[in-house]
């Protein structure tokens, strides 16, 4: 009980409360090998292979791309139609023991509305067969900053609070792997930032964290690795900047400002690494056919033309362009 | 410590089944036999023990055993898993390192208990009103039937709710058919004595989940084995089904 | 068409949205629309074939006995009476209950589940309008079933007899009672069904509730009728709504209940049955009023 009081005191003081006996989690892994899931004629997940590592991995894709199905496969909620889905070398399907290592935050809003936040998290803790469910409950509730609201019924919670209590429930047993389906839904910016910090800190401690989202900004700020899923297929995986770089057949766009835009434009047009040039608003928008050679050629061209470069902004490094590009393929 | 898993599941399920004003409906249902008994006693005039017994058996046979009990078992049995399946909250229970049989056991026990609580108190009070005392062999017999029936109906409808999304509707068709068949059977038996009633019930119930162990001997023996068999089958089925239950995506 | 600011903080563009200040169709039209939509829901119109399955099948089953009886009358005249005008509903009570039990939740529970009530009330509709529109939608559905069956019986009698014109004049006075009883049946059943269904957003549970109510009430009425010898027993049978309806039916048609009918041996005055029917409707309206007062829009 004293740990519970300590946890509450820490929460009141606004200080994060860490367990002293943090487990080593370097062994945690989630591996998919040629995993597919189909329902009759509809293929939701199509031959996906990857291995999740400690840290934060973002799952990106349009609605209906199969992100939730993928998460459910990892979570052992669905049986793979073919291929394997393994957690720590064990299949996730039909294997309740695997849930000691996994925490799941589903997307659906409905959470036992008649339970209080604390009761819900405690239920999770008890079902995880933890030796001290009360301490775990307090710790988890404090981690999501819901200590004061924890005694209200979940039915009275706002959408963002419900999301957070779900996360608390998933964190109660301090799992090595955390799966979150659209976790930032309904959170206001402050809550979102807090959640991002929480997940980043967890990732640094060795947790494997996977989360799906539509909001590209979260991936930008949080995800080290990105898995892009389109129509059930893995369209891209890895560091998102690397993914972008790999796609050299798409023209890259740059925005330039120089001392003499028009002269530079004329000079650039002559070079074969340049596909198109547009003069707008005191800026030069250049579409480069080949990013590599353009970046080498640009300073050379500018110097030969006697134009000074003031600003060079690569225009579409963002996930947005990667994503929409992949979708269009 | 291991007991608290079942206890926690049971507590949440109990609140699911009878919380938030659902207990009001259970209360109203349980008062129906009481109402009927009260009307019999206040409006029927003086009655001899045979008439009382006849009436009580008739009450049990037509209202309780064929309508109230199966309906209560249906509603609670399907709701034990069904509510969470519909709401998409079952995944919180499933994604835990708990053996599936323990989940089934906890929910089944809760559903059965909820059914008993819905039906039995009304029956006991009705008996007291009619006979003046709860010490009555008929009451004991029928109370046993209610207990056994509650467990069996809860088990059957529990496994049904894991097999199909339309468990409640299918179960309802069963109750309608069962009630229809029996009401036809009993409409011609107005003038029979208690013994005939009891025998008729036992006969009819031999083919049905509810056994009325009123007659000593082979009849009740077979019924007991049948009941045990059905319970085992239903429970095993539920456990097996829960193991391979796929959690679908959101609606 | 669009005008934009020149580097200003922000502008609202005029893209041609029209503001409407003219006459609106108003509340009566809204009620009418909701009613028509409700009738469509009751018969599964405008939805997939699965939504049509149950109501169509039940409609067929509800009218089939009348068709059979009509055919029988054509061959055997009035000698063989399987079903008649007066006792039709009591005999077929199960079908009517199933119809209501299947469709009332679609009308009322589904809106609660999807939380659409807000959307309805954000229009010219008031809560009472919503409730009454839903109730009458189901009532119209049941009325169609009831009337359809009765008219088939009527047609059978007319066409099946030797002299059609004679028969028509003979049977014609029955038309008013036919309409009256059909309307009564539909109102009693619909109001009770919608009231029960309004208590829960879960459709299957509402169906179970409606079926359960009719099963339990008929069981109670049955026991009491069998067992009680005093003066009150006959009144207690009114606990079964179908007895009440059947009684009024007999009263209006001035028919005698058949020997197998649950109405046999009951000698209650016609107004007793009518009173019971009105009580049921009042009870149902009461439940609906309380339920929809308190529900969150």
Confidence check: pLDDT of A192 > 90: no
pLDDT band at A317 (very low <50, low <70, confident <90, very high): low
Region class of B98: left (phi > 0), else alpha (psi between -120 and 50), else beta: beta
- Is residue B231 a contact partner of residue B147, using CB atoms and an 8 Å limit? no
Q: Measuring CA to CA, which residue among A177, A248, A252, A170 is closest to residue A208? A: A177
Kindly report the average pLDDT of chain A as a whole number: 83
Q: What is the pLDDT of residues A34-89, one digit of tens each?
A: 999 998 898 989 999 999 988 899 998 877 778 899 999 999 999 999 999 999 88
Distance from CA of B44 to the nearest CA of C (A): 5
pLDDT at A238: 81
What's the CA gap between A146 and A152, in Å, rounded? 10
Q: What is the pLDDT of residues A221-251, one digit of tens each?
A: 788 888 888 888 888 788 866 765 665 455 5
Q: What is the pLDDT of residues B25-56, one digit of tens each?
A: 899 999 999 988 888 887 766 677 777 777 88
What's the CA gap between C29 and C125, in Å, rounded? 9
Q: Look at A78 and A314; give whichever has higher pLDDT.
A: A78
Q: Look at A245 and C53; give whichever has higher pLDDT.
A: C53
pTM: 0.80
pLDDT at A4: 55
If you search the block for the tokens 């050679």, which residue do you land on? Answer: A293
Confidence check: pLDDT of B219 > 90: no
Which residue from B2, B87, B95 is facing A75, i.e. has the nearest CB? Answer: B95
pLDDT at A20: 37
Determine the 3-state secondary structure of C83 from DSSP.
coil
pLDDT band at C229 (very low <50, low <70, confident <90, very high): low
Q: Report, as an integer, the average pLDDT of C192-212.
A: 93
Confidence check: pLDDT of A103 > 60: yes
pLDDT band at A8 (very low <50, low <70, confident <90, very high): low
Partner-chain contact B169 C207, CB within 8 Å: yes
Partner-chain contact C220 B36, CB within 8 Å: yes
pLDDT at B208: 40
Q: Name residues 77-136 of chain C within 8 A of B (Cβ).
A: 94, 98
Partners of C141 in the β-ladder: none
Among the residue ranges A24-33, A69-78, A306-315, B124-133, the one predicted with the least confidence is: A24-33
pLDDT at B251: 36
Of the ranges A216-220, A303-307, C222-226, the best mean pLDDT one: A303-307
Partner-chain contact B32 C232, CB within 8 Å: no
Contact exists between B and A (3 or more beta carbon pairs < 8 Å)? yes
- Is residue A253 a contact partner of residue A226, using CB atoms and an 8 Å limit? no
Partner-chain contact A77 B94, CB within 8 Å: yes
Q: Report, as an integer, the average pLDDT of B123-144.
A: 83
- Is residue B80 a contact partner of residue B13, using CB atoms and an 8 Å limit? yes
Which residue from C211, C223, C231 is facing B172, i.e. has the nearest CB? Answer: C211
Q: Which residues of B touch C219 (CB under 8 A)?
A: 62-63, 66-67, 179, 183
Among the residue ranges A251-265, B199-213, C143-157, the one predicted with the least confidence is: B199-213
- Is residue B111 a contact partner of residue B105, using CB atoms and an 8 Å limit? no
- Is residue A320 a contact partner of residue A243, using CB atoms and an 8 Å limit? no
Among the residue ranges A149-158, B185-194, C93-102, the one predicted with the least confidence is: B185-194
pLDDT at B77: 95
pLDDT band at A204 (very low <50, low <70, confident <90, very high): confident
pLDDT band at B217 (very low <50, low <70, confident <90, very high): very low
- Is residue C128 a contact partner of residue C136, using CB atoms and an 8 Å limit? no
What's the CA gap between B96 and A95, in Å, rounded? 10
Strands A30-39 and A42-52: antiparallel
Kindly report the average pLDDT of chain C as a whole number: 82
pLDDT at A167: 93
Confidence check: pLDDT of C197 > 60: yes
Q: Look at C60 and B46; give whichever has higher pLDDT.
A: C60
Chain C touching partners, 3 or more CB pairs below 8 A: B
Q: Report, as an integer, the average pLDDT of A296-323.
A: 78
- Is residue B70 a contact partner of residue C208, using CB atoms and an 8 Å limit? no
Q: What is the pLDDT of residues B50-89, one digit of tens each?
A: 777 778 887 887 788 888 998 999 999 999 999 999 888 9
pLDDT at A105: 94
- Strand extents, DSSP E, B76-203: none
- Strand extents, DSSP E, chain C: none
C89 token code pair: 């509903």
Confidence check: pLDDT of A177 > 80: yes
If you search the block for the tokens 């459910």, which residue do you land on? Answer: A72
pLDDT band at A139 (very low <50, low <70, confident <90, very high): very high
SS3 for B20-43 is: CCHHHHHHHHHHHHHHHHHHHHHH
Q: Look at B142 and A171; give whichever has higher pLDDT.
A: A171
> Which of B77, B176, B184, B251 best probes binding to C when mutated, by most C CB atoms within 10 angstroms?
B176
pLDDT at B210: 37
B243 token code pair: 């193991």
What's the CA gap between C175 and A291, in Å, rounded? 87
% helix, strand, coil for chain C, step of 5: 70, 0, 30
Q: Look at C233 and C26; give whichever has higher pLDDT.
A: C26
Q: Report, as an integer, the average pLDDT of B80-99.
A: 92
Give the number of B-C residue pairs with CB atoms closer than 8 Å. 86
Confidence check: pLDDT of C243 > 80: no
Contacts 24+ apart (CB under 8 A), C286-292: C287/C195, C287/C196, C287/C198, C287/C199, C288/C131, C288/C135, C288/C191, C288/C194, C288/C195, C288/C198, C289/C131, C291/C195, C291/C198, C291/C199, C292/C127, C292/C130, C292/C131, C292/C198
If you search the block for the tokens 């793979």, which residue do you land on? Answer: A80
Q: What is the pLDDT of residues A141-172, one digit of tens each?
A: 999 989 999 999 999 998 889 999 999 999 99
B114 touches chain C (CB under 8 A): no
Partner-chain contact C204 B68, CB within 8 Å: no
Q: Which residues of A touch B91 (CB under 8 A)?
A: 77, 104, 106
pLDDT at B137: 76
pLDDT band at B1 (very low <50, low <70, confident <90, very high): very low
pLDDT at C180: 85
């Amino acid at each position: 009980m004293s740990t519970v009081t300590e946890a509450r005191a820490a929460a009141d003081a606004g200080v994060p409360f860490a367990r002293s006996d943090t487990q080593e989690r370097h062994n945690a892994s989630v591996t998919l090998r040629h995993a597919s899931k189909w329902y009759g004629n509809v293929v939701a997940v199509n031959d996906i292979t990857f291995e999740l590592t400690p840290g934060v991995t973002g799952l990106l894709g349009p609605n209906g791309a199969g992100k939730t199905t993928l998460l459910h496969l990892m979570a052992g909620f669905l049986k793979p139609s073919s291929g394997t889905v393994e957690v720590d070398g064990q299949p996730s399907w039909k294997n309740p023991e695997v849930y000691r290592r996994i925490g799941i935050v589903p997307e659906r809003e409905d959470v036992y509305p008649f339970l209080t936040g604390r009761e819900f998290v405690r239920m999770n803790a008890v079902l995880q067969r933890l030796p001290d469910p009360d301490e775990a409950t307090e710790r988890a509730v404090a981690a999501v900053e819901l200590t004061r609201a924890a005694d209200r019924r979940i039915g009275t919670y706002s959408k963002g609070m419900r999301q957070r209590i779900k996360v608390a429930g998933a964190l109660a047993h301090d799992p090595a792997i955390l799966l979150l389906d659209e976790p930032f839904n309904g959170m206001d910016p402050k809550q979102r930032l807090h959640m991002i910090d929480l997940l980043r800190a967890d990732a640094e401690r060795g947790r494997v964290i996977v989360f799906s989202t539509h909001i590209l900004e979260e991936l930008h700020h949080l995800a080290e690795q990105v898995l892009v899923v389109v129509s059930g297929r893995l369209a891209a995986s890895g560091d998102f900047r690397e993914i972008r770089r790999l796609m050299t057949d798409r023209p890259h766009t740059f925005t330039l400002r120089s001392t003499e835009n028009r002269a530079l434009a004329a000079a650039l047009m002559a070079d074969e690494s340049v596909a198109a040039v547009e003069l707008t608003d005191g800026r030069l928008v250049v579409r480069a056919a080949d990013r590599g050679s353009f970046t080498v050629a640009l300073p050379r061209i500018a110097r030969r033309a006697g134009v000074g470069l003031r600003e060079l902004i690569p225009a579409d490094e963002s996930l947005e362009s990667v994503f929409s590009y992949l979708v269009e393929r | 410590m291991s007991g608290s898993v079942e206890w926690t599941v049971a507590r949440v399920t109990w609140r699911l089944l009878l919380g938030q004003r659902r207990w009001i409906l259970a209360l109203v249902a349980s008062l129906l036999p009481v109402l009927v008994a009260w009307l019999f006693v206040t409006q029927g005039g003086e009655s001899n023990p045979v008439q009382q017994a006849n009436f009580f058996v008739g009450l049990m046979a037509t209202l309780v055993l064929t309508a109230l009990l199966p309906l209560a078992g249906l509603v609670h049995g399907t709701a034990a898993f069904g509510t969470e399946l519909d709401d998409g909250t079952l995944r919180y229970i499933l994604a835990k390192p708990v053996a599936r049989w323990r989940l089934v056991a906890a929910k089944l026990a809760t559903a059965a208990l909820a059914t008993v609580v819905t039906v039995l108190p009304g029956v006991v009070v009705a008996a007291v009103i009619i006979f003046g005392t709860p010490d009555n062999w008929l009451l004991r017999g029928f109370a046993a039937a209610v207990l056994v029936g509650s467990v069996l109906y809860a088990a059957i409808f529990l496994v049904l709710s894991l097999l199909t999304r339309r468990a409640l509707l299918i179960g309802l068709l069963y109750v309608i058919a069962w009630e229809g068949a029996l009401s036809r059977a009993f409409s011609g038996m107005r003038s029979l004595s208690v013994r005939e009633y009891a025998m008729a019930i036992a006969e009819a119930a031999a083919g049905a989940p509810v056994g009325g162990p009123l007659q000593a001997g082979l009849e009740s023996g077979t019924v007991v084995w049948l009941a045990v068999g059905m319970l085992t089958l239903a429970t095993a089925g539920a456990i097996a089904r829960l193991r391979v239950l796929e959690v679908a995506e959101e609606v | 068409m669009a005008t934009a600011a020149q580097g200003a903080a922000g502008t609202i563009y005029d893209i041609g949205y029209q503001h409407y200040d003219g006459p609106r169709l108003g509340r009566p039209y809204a009620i009418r629309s909701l009613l028509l939509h409700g009738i469509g829901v009751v018969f599964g119109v405008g939805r997939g074939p699965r939504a049509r399955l149950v109501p169509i099948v039940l409609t067929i089953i509800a009218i089939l006995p009348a068709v059979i009886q009509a055919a029988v009358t054509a061959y055997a005249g009035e000698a063989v009476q399987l079903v008649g005008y007066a006792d039709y509903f009591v005999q077929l009570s199960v079908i009517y209950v199933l119809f209501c039990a299947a469709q009332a939740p679609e009308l009322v529970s589904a809106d609660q589940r999807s939380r659409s009530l807000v959307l309805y009330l954000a229009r010219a509709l008031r809560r009472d309008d919503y409730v009454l529109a839903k109730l009458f939608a189901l009532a119209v559905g049941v009325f169609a079933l009831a009337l359809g069956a009765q008219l088939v019986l009527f047609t059978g009698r007319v066409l099946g007899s030797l002299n059609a014109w004679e028969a028509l004049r003979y049977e014609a006075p029955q038309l008013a009672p036919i309409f009256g009883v059909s309307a009564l049946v539909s109102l009693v059943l619909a109001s009770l069904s919608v009231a029960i269904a309004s208590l829960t957003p879960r459709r299957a549970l509402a169906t179970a509730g409606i079926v359960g109510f009719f099963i339990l009430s008929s069981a109670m009425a049955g026991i009491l009728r069998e067992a009680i010898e005093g003066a009150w027993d006959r009144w207690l049978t009114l606990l079964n709504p179908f007895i009440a309806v059947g009684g009024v039916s007999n009263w209006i048609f001035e028919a005698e209940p058949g020997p197998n009918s649950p109405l046999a041996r009951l000698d209650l005055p016609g107004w007793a049955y009518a009173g019971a029917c009105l009580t049921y409707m009042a009870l149902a309206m009461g439940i609906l009023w309380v339920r929809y007062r308190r529900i969150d829009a």
